[in-house]
Amino acid sequence: MYEFVSGPLALISFAIFFIGIITRIVLYVKGLDWRLDRVAYSEKLGAGIKGAARSLFHWLLPLNRTTAKHPIFMAVTYLFHICLIITPIFLLAHIVLIEEAWGISWVNIPDKVADYMALAVIAAGIFFLIRRLTNPNVKILTTAWDYIVLAIALAPFITGFIAYHQLELGAGYKTWLIIHILCGEILLIAIPFTKLSHFVLFFCSRIQLGMDYGIKRGGTKGRGIAW
């Protein structure tokens, strides 16, 4: 079982993930239309690029009015996403596996740091869950899928923490390890097919709106919108 999930299934998951997100990006760009969107993407590319860069800059960094208005929520969101990305990529255990499979490796973070990051992801996830269950504005927007994708995102971190610390929770280390790997693979496969696709589509959408503002909504009349 272990050989299967860490071997062929892992390869399949990564393939679906990489092909999936590239397909999403390609389909997004193909589906842009200067006539329908009413943005002169190619004819005003310079203004578009400038607008896109400003849009990405102000929203990848917390330099926008929404962050100023909702500092706690944005801080938790940043913490969640930063730790979510860094932990799996720079965890020593993961790097070792990749080195054994493909011969490449890179710098790792100390295990203790990864531990705290995993806990931060889980804590942030609980914050999101409580917010979704109790805040009336969020409740009215919520569908079952919101809970499902949150679970898909958190599962690898919860099960990873359990596996790493070899906690005896109804099952042994080997079982939790397999469950953790499966959870990671479910997450990888889910990204192209659910709203976890914002992994790449956030950038697409941000760039598109930045181009729109840069080309049409003021970018050519000055410095452009003050995000």
Partner 1 sequence: MAQEAKNQDLPPLVTRKPVKTKEELDLLLADKGVRYYKEMEVFPVDTAALKKTLDATCKSRIRTWLEICAHCSLCADTCFFYLANDNDPKQIPSYKIKSTLGELVKRKGNVDTQFMINCMDTAWGKCTCCNRCGQFCPHGIDMGVMFGYTRGLCFSQGFVPHEMKIGSGMHWLYNAQMDVTVEDYVETCEWMAEENEEYYPGLKIPVDKVGADIMYVVNAREPKHYPQDLAEAAILFHLAGENWTVPSKGWEGTSLAMFAGDWACCKQQVEWVYEAMERLKVKRYVGTECGHQHRATITEGPYWAGRKSGDPPVPGFHYVEWVLEALETGKLKLDPAKKIKEPVTLQDPCNYIRNHGLTDVTRKIMSYIAEDFREMNPNREHNFCCGGGGGMNGIGRYREQRNIGMKVKRDQILATGAKFVVSACHNCWDAIRDLEEVYKIGIKWSFLKPILLEMVIVPDHLKPKEESEEKSA
Interface residues with partner 1 (CB under 8 A)?
27-40, 42-44, 55, 59, 64-66, 69-70, 73, 77, 132, 135-143, 146, 195, 197-198, 201-202, 204-206, 208-210, 212, 215-222, 224-227
94 or 198: CB nearest partner 1: 198
Please, what is the minimum distance in Å from the beta carbon of residue 197 to partner 1? 7
Please, what is the minimum distance in Å from the beta carbon of residue 190 to partner 1? 13
13 or 197: CB nearest partner 1: 197
Please, what is the minimum distance in Å from the beta carbon of residue 199 to partner 1? 10
94 or 206: CB nearest partner 1: 206
DSSP characters over the chain: -HHHHHTHHHHHHHHHHHHHHHHHHHHHHHT--HHHHT--TTTTHHHHHHHHHHHHHHHHTT-SHHHHHSHHHHHHHHHHHHHHHHHHHHBHHHHHHHHHHHS-----B-HHHHHHHHHHHHHHHHHHHHHHHH-HHHHHH--HHHHHHHHHHHHHHHHHHHHHTT--SSS-HHHHHHHHHHHHHHHHHHHHHSGGGHHHHHHHHHHHHHHHHHHTSSGGGSS----
59 or 176: CB nearest partner 1: 59
